[in-house]
A = this chain, B = another copy of it.
């Protein structure tokens, strides 16, 4: 039985609590957050605390608080030599106070309030100062997922910037297409299957081999026609920048 305490009451804290809730081999002993909020409707009230001084013994303390609060909260913990981990993709492990044993327990996924998540498909990026702690974090992660990776703070940075490309920027492209469709009364949902297939495809083949379109074909007739259809200047700039980038990347190989 791994005894866990979760600090924070945001998206990650809540989804983790719910995921651990039905695990026989994990017990969430307590949850700390400033407002004394429950993380789950079924949570026992006496496991919710609002004061660091009420923190009990546990094997792992998970600081699922905002990036900016990780260092501060880790310095407020009233104990030493325990395993404390944060859940951030971008904060180095060493941001945690060195009065405790430090680690990282980063679930590489995008969590939102109202959307349930299937943890079994989520990669866990782990880091710890010593082998024993790393083993314990591995044991904890494998109760939820079998995609468990040992990742250094530097590698986590690389994943985090890559995640901005594949999640934030990609979503922005979806929102742009949504705007273009809305402007012209075309239902955006017609594009949903294409969007899903575009994502699924790169889990089966290298994205370089999946690249198609007027950019890579140097099809300037279509490119110019598209640039006439788009009237918004930001959208036009984006179309030009991405087309140029595609041409300069693949042009060399054509």
Contact of B180 with A161 in the complex, beta carbons under 8 Å: yes
Task: Indicate with 1 or 0, residue by residue over A160-203, a CB within 8 angstroms of chain B CB atoms.
Answer: 11111111111111111110110011111111111111111111
Given A211-B175, A229-B158, A196–B203 Cβ distance below 8 Å? yes
Bound together, the chains give a CA A203 to CA B162 distance in angstroms of 22
A123, A158, A161, A181 interface centre (most CB from chain B within 10 Å): A161
Bound together, the chains give a CA A166 to CA B168 distance in angstroms of 13
Binding site for B on A (CB under 8 A): 67, 90, 108-110, 112, 115, 117, 121-123, 125, 147, 149, 151, 154-155, 157-178, 180-181, 184-208, 210-216, 222, 225-226, 229-230, 234, 237-239, 241-242, 245-246, 248-249
Contact of A193 with B158 in the complex, beta carbons under 8 Å: no
Contact of B226 with A249 in the complex, beta carbons under 8 Å: no
Having A108-B193, A164-B239, A172-B246, one finds 16 other A-B pairs with CB under 8 Å, namely A108-B194, A109-B194, A109-B197, A110-B212, A149-B190, A161-B239, A164-B214, A166-B177, A169-B246, A171-B207, A171-B210, A175-B207, A195-B199, A199-B199, A237-B245, A238-B245
Contact of B241 with A186 in the complex, beta carbons under 8 Å: no
Contact of A170 with B198 in the complex, beta carbons under 8 Å: yes
Number of this chain's copies in the complex: 2
- What is the chain B residue whose CB lies nearest that of A67? B222
Contact of A171 with B211 in the complex, beta carbons under 8 Å: yes
9 residue pairs, one from A and one from B, having the closest CB atoms: A168-B213, A199-B199, A175-B207, A162-B177, A174-B207, A165-B177, A158-B184, A161-B226, A169-B242
Contact of B166 with A201 in the complex, beta carbons under 8 Å: no
Q: Is the interface of A mostly helix, strand, loop or mixed?
A: helix
- What is the chain B residue whose CB lies nearest that of A198? B167
- What is the chain B residue whose CB lies nearest that of A161? B226
Select which of B165, B213, B215, B226 is within 8 A of A176 by beta carbon: B165
A163 CB contacts on chain B under 8 angstroms: 177, 191, 194
Select which of B159, B181, B214, B237 is within 8 A of A181 by beta carbon: B159
Contact of A242 with B249 in the complex, beta carbons under 8 Å: no
A-B contact pairs, 9 of them (CB 8 A): A110-B198, A122-B193, A158-B181, A165-B239, A167-B213, A169-B246, A170-B170, A175-B211, A192-B203
